[in-house]
Amino acid sequence: RSLFDEPLGIAVQGLSPRQQVTLRASLRDEAGELFEAHARYQAAEDGELDVARCPALPGGSFSGLEPMGLLWALQPRKAFWRLVKKDVQTPFLLRLEVLEGHGDDSGRLLAQAQHERAFLRDGVRRVPVRDGRIRATLFLPPGNGPFPGVIDLYGAGGGLPEYRACLLANYGFAVLALAFYGYEDLPKEMKEINLEYFEEAVNYMLQHNQVKGPGIGLLGFSKGGDLCISMASFLKGITATAVINGSVANVGAVVRYKDVTIPPLGVNPKRIKVSKSGIGDIIDALNNPLEGADRQSFIPLEKAECRFLFIVGQDDHNWKSEFFATEGSKRLQAHGKEKPEIICYPGAGHYIEPPFFPMCAASMHLLVGMPVIWGGEPKAHCEAQIDAWQQIQAFFHRHLKG
Ligand SMILES: CCCCC/C=C\C/C=C\C/C=C\C/C=C\CCCC(=O)SCCNC(=O)CCNC(=O)[C@H](O)C(C)(C)COP(=O)(O)OP(=O)(O)OC[C@H]1O[C@@H](n2cnc3c(N)ncnc32)[C@H](O)[C@@H]1OP(=O)(O)O
């Protein structure tokens, strides 16, 4: 058993010298969908095969020395499917098989093992929160708090994804996974966003006796990223905001707070490029928030009193994350604010998840209504996820010491 975001050592012993085998990794998600990767190897002289020392031969899901290849190369059998974890209290079961030979049809099964990839570290508490309007789950690390607190937001698609919040809590943070639409009695669609809802969540965290003050952190991915920037710009009590492939303009739905209204950035669906197979590339669909009326959608992040970290996948095809981060930085500095940290990852796409979630190349875009490409190259994307995860934790540790 290991935690899902931890690297894994994979080795086979007792093979014949230089024996040719195929290693296969597979995992079924909670919907029963299969993810699979396989690679061809040759054992060493002593009959041992350690994937950290032995390169994969051509012909499998990957080749070369790739200690984590069997994890990052996992691909769903079902098109446009993405690995998500709904029940964080149970592990994913990773099945590892050693098959004879290098044939296209699977050879005789020589050995197999099952390994649990868990989400909750022992002692981490999972607390469903139904407080006022808030629909959320709080994860509290073991031991005596208070702990640095973080609110975690996903993006379009809604629901209450808990897996990133839970993995982050394993490292000593009190993390609130916060739903904002498409969950229980929250609005079904993302039509209008009221920051008062998010303010309740910030206050819930600030008043919690297990949360270290005086301020909390925000972590947001995609649409959750621009939401975090809006929260940081208008709400009190936020010390550090980490944005993963987010936008500095408000996108998708109007944001309201007291007498403030931020319209969503304009889009032109004619700029969506649709491939022969019907997959969209929406990279050029959004208007430029530096031009004309669309400037009203640029979130006034210079009002924020927190530090910013922008995690950028340079091959993001959802939108221009690097441009957004750079423009956010210019605007902060033009107002005499601290320069944000911007960390760019070549070869990383939009869907930057915690380590070892296999890259999702394309899936249904729940706002656009067609499958879209997210960008990224699996190996580079995997490496980016590993590094970004460390950077996010280090950023929060630096700024949420209390
Ligand atoms: C602004 C656009 C306005 C529209 C204009 C039109 C065109 C404009 C063109 C371009 C616009 C350009 C840019 C604007 C772009 C973006 C703004 C937003 C950016 C984003 O933000 S980018 C998404 C980031 N994303 C997340 O941040 C994840 C959020 N959270 C979830 O996505 C859910 O939390 C989930 C799925 C984890 C559990 O949700 P759940 O518990 O409610 O699950 P449930 O089973 O009910 O599924 C509900 C539906 O997800 C499908 N689904 C379920 N499981 C799946 C899987 N494993 N793989 C693939 N699909 C899956 C089902 O098939 C069903 O789809 P359906 O309803 O169609 O059947």
Query: Alpha carbon of 74 to those of 59, 357, 360: distances in Å?
Result: 15, 9, 10
Pairing of the two strands 92-100 and 20-28: antiparallel
- Which residue reads 């975001």 in tokens? 5
Assess contact for 196 and 134: CB atoms under 8 A.
Answer: no
**Could you tell me which residues are beta bridge partners of residue 117?**
2, 92
Of the residues 359, 364, 372, 373, which should be mutated to test ligand 1's pocket, given the most ligand atoms within 8 Å of the CB?
Answer: 364
**Residue 105: per-residue pLDDT:** 79
- 368 pLDDT exceeds 90? no
Q: What is the pLDDT of residues 176-195, one digit of tens each?
A: 999 999 999 999 999 999 99
Whether residue 247 is found in the same domain as residue 112: no
| Cα 165 from chain centroid (whole Å) | 10
Whole-number Å distance, alpha carbon 208 to ligand 1 midpoint, is 31
Q: What is the CATH number of the domain that holds 33?
A: 2.60.40.2240
**Residue 130: per-residue pLDDT:** 97
- Nearest Cα neighbor of 369 from 220, 244, 189 is 189
Mean pLDDT of the chain: 97
The arithmetic mean of pLDDT across residues 19-26, rounded, is: 98
Whole-number Å distance, alpha carbon 364 to ligand 1 midpoint, is 7
Pairwise CA distance, residues 200 & 178, whole Å = 11
Q: How many folded domains does the chain comprise? A: 2
Whether residue 112 is found in the same domain as residue 228: no
Of 118, 145, 160, the last residue of a domain is 118
- 27 pLDDT exceeds 80? yes
Whole-number Å distance, alpha carbon 105 to ligand 1 midpoint, is 36
Pairwise CA distance, residues 140 & 123, whole Å = 9
Whole-number Å distance, alpha carbon 154 to ligand 1 midpoint, is 10
**Residue 95: per-residue pLDDT:** 98
- In degrees, rounded to 5, the angle at the alpha carbon of residue 269 between the alpha carbons of residues 267 and 274 is 140
Whether residue 228 is found in the same domain as residue 343: yes
The arithmetic mean of pLDDT across residues 157-167, rounded, is: 97
Report residue 402's pLDDT band, with 50, 70 and 90 as the boundaries.
Answer: low
Of the residues 28, 33, 84, which should be mutated to test ligand 1's pocket, given the most ligand atoms within 8 Å of the CB?
Answer: 84
Residue 59 belongs to what domain range? 2-118
Whole-number Å distance, alpha carbon 58 to ligand 1 midpoint, is 35
Whether residue 96 is found in the same domain as residue 220: no
Whether residue 175 is found in the same domain as residue 273: yes
Question: Does 186 contact ligand 1 (Cβ within 6 A)?
Answer: no
Q: Quick one: which atom of ligand 1 is closest to the CA of 224?
A: 21
Question: Does 287 contact ligand 1 (Cβ within 6 A)?
Answer: no
Whole-number Å distance, alpha carbon 281 to ligand 1 midpoint, is 16
Question: Does 357 contact ligand 1 (Cβ within 6 A)?
Answer: no
Q: What is the pLDDT of residues 64-89, one digit of tens each?
A: 999 999 999 999 999 999 999 999 99
Q: What is the pLDDT of residues 197-238, one digit of tens each?
A: 999 999 999 999 999 989 999 999 999 999 999 999 999 999
Of the residues 34, 162, 368, 374, which should be mutated to test ligand 1's pocket, given the most ligand atoms within 8 Å of the CB?
Answer: 368
Report residue 103's pLDDT band, with 50, 70 and 90 as the boundaries.
Answer: confident
Would you call 350 a catalytic residue per the annotation? Answer: yes
Whether residue 180 is found in the same domain as residue 289: yes
- 306 pLDDT exceeds 80? yes
Whether residue 141 is found in the same domain as residue 252: yes
Question: Which residue has its alpha carbon closest to ligand 1 atom 50?
Answer: 157
Question: Which residue has its alpha carbon closest to ligand 1 atom 29?
Answer: 157
Whether residue 75 is found in the same domain as residue 173: no
Of 80, 101, 118, the last residue of a domain is 118
Q: Quick one: which atom of ligand 1 is closest to the CA of 155?
A: 27
Of residues 104 and 97, more confidence is placed in 97
**Residue 50: per-residue pLDDT:** 98
Query: Alpha carbon of 129 to those of 126, 176, 208: distances in Å?
Result: 10, 9, 12
Pairwise CA distance, residues 99 & 112, whole Å = 9
Whether residue 109 is found in the same domain as residue 153: no
Report residue 104's pLDDT band, with 50, 70 and 90 as the boundaries.
Answer: confident
Whether residue 286 is found in the same domain as residue 218: yes
ipTM of the complex: 0.93
The arithmetic mean of pLDDT across residues 349-376, rounded, is: 95
Would you call 26 a catalytic residue per the annotation? Answer: no
Of the residues 75, 222, 254, 283, which should be mutated to test ligand 1's pocket, given the most ligand atoms within 8 Å of the CB?
Answer: 222
Q: What is the pLDDT of residues 145-157, one digit of tens each?
A: 899 999 999 999 9
Question: Does 242 contact ligand 1 (Cβ within 6 A)?
Answer: no
Q: What is the pLDDT of residues 257-266, one digit of tens each?
A: 999 999 999 9
Whole-number Å distance, alpha carbon 130 to ligand 1 midpoint, is 23
Of 92, 118, 144, the last residue of a domain is 118
Question: Does 81 contact ligand 1 (Cβ within 6 A)?
Answer: yes
Report residue 106's pLDDT band, with 50, 70 and 90 as the boundaries.
Answer: confident
Q: Which entry of 316, 321, 329, 399 is annotated as an active-site residue? A: 316
- E-assigned strand segments in 43-170: 49-50, 75-76, 92-100, 109-118, 125-131, 134-140, 147-153
Whether residue 139 is found in the same domain as residue 224: yes
Q: What 3-state class would DSSP assign to 25?
A: strand
Would you call 115 a catalytic residue per the annotation? Answer: no
Whether residue 373 is found in the same domain as residue 283: yes
